[in-house]
């Protein structure tokens, strides 16, 4: 195992297919105790047809010896699963293993940083679309930008950086990843809770009635970002939110889907993350607080 992917959902499988096409042999890491064969065929449907790849599989409770050669770990879990899963895995990962987190929202990165023991940490965000059709089959539903960048500890080795950029179409490596992650956070903070609470597709947020709330979400985000030392422009973020609403008009946001399927949402890493940061700075974010509370009420009622 040289490259492992923790989180075999739609995006994890998509990245596995893309890495395999670029010549790598990623291993999929599954939940502890999950029965799995050592290798498994996975399908990826695209408009051009289905491509089949065989990936090695292994569970999180495999002995440390299984991870001896792991030099890159891509984490494609939901934000709220990241810390628990890595807590179990970190003691088994070589100190030279670089970790790349790819999830909606922010927050796990700063809690993970003090536990890295000198390992490198990169962060990323992807707008590629993928849908899980079954345990071993996905549909690649949309092309999109993938932004990656260094966050802490030793830098990712040049050959692995080059591999990721070659493997993932539309990917770029940024010298400063945090502004890009805040840009995506703005999109998720505006679109996800509103579509989940009103049970509407993303496109409905183009209606005039939603604009004051979207405006307020983004202005509050800009305020807290400034306290964190990031100067973001509200008008640019609002334009980006409007563009995503238009481009993904028929999509059902991930938070809407989470609630519809009775799963926990990523609210703590999105609007809840903003509220938590704001509290540290003595700021009030009334709209983000209200949305966080409402989504948590929905989750509790599931």
| Radius of gyration, CA atoms only, the chain | 19
Size of the site for ligand KPL (CB under 6 A): 11
- The strand pair at 171-174 and 146-152 is best described as parallel
187 or 291, CB closer to ligand KPL? 187
Among 18, 76, 254, 292, binds ligand KPL (CB under 6 A): 254
Among 13, 57, 147, 202, binds ligand KPL (CB under 6 A): 202
Among 128, 147, 248, 271, binds ligand KPL (CB under 6 A): 248
Q: Taking a C-beta distance cutoff of 8 angstroms, is the pair 269, 106 a contact?
A: yes
Residue 82: CB minimum distance to ligand KPL, A: 16
184 carries an active-site annotation: yes
Cα-based angle 212, 289, 215 (whole degrees, multiple of 5): 20
Q: Taking a C-beta distance cutoff of 8 angstroms, is the pair 34, 135 a contact?
A: no
Is residue 192 within the footprint of ligand KPL (CB under 6 A)?
yes
- Catalytic site residue from 143, 184, 290, 296: 184
Is residue 191 within the footprint of ligand KPL (CB under 6 A)?
yes
Span of 4-12, 43-51, 112-120, 243-251 interacting with ligand KPL by CB under 6 A: 243-251
Residue 47 token pair: 């408009």
Span of 75-83, 86-94, 110-118, 249-257 interacting with ligand KPL by CB under 6 A: 249-257
The count of other CB atoms within 10 Å of the CB of residue 72 is 24
What's the rounded Cα separation, in Å, for the pair 271 and 262? 19
Among 53, 76, 104, 122, binds ligand KPL (CB under 6 A): 104
Q: Pick from 77, 105, 81: which is nearest to 273 by CA?
A: 105
Q: Is the dihedral of CA 240, 242, 246, 252 positive or negative?
A: positive
Which parts of this chain interact with ligand KPL (CB under 6 A)? 104, 187-188, 191-192, 202, 244, 248, 251, 253-254
* Catalytic residue set: 184
């Amino acid at each position: 195992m040289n490259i492992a992917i923790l989180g075999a959902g739609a995006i994890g499988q998509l990245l596995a297919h893309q890495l395999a096409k670029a010549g790598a042999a990623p291993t999929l890491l599954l939940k502890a105790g999950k029965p799995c064969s050592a290798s498994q065929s996975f399908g990826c449907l695209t408009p051009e047809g289905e491509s089949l790849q065989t990936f090695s599989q292994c569970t999180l409770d495999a002995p440390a010896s299984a991870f001896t050669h792991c030099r890159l770990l891509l984490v494609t879990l939901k934000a709220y699963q990241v810390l628990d899963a890595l807590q179990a895995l970190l003691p088994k990962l070589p100190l030279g293993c670089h970790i790349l987190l790819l999830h909606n929202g922010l927050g796990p990165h700063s809690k993970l940083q003090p536990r890295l023991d000198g390992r490198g940490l990169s962060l990323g965000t992807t707008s590629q679309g993928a849908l899980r059709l079954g345990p071993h089959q996905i549909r690649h539903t949309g092309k999109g930008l993938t932004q990656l960048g260094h966050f802490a500890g030793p830098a990712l080795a040049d050959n692995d950086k080059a591999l990721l950029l070659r493997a993932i179409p539309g990917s770029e490596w940024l010298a400063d990843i945090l502004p890009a992650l805040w840009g995506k956070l703005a999109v998720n903070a505006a679109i996800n809770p509103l579509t989940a609470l009103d049970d509407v597709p993303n496109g409905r947020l183009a209606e005039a009635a939603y604009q004051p709330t979207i405006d307020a979400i983004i202005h509050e985000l800009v305020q807290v970002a400034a306290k964190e030392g990031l100067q973001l422009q509200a008008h640019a973020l609002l334009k980006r939110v409007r563009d995503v609403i238009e481009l993904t008009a028929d999509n059902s946001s991930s938070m809407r889907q989470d609630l519809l399927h009775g799963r926990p949402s990523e609210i703590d890493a999105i609007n809840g993350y903003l509220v938590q940061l704001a509290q540290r700075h003595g700021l009030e974010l009334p709209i983000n607080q209200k949305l966080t509370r409402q989504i948590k009420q929905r989750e509790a009622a599931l």
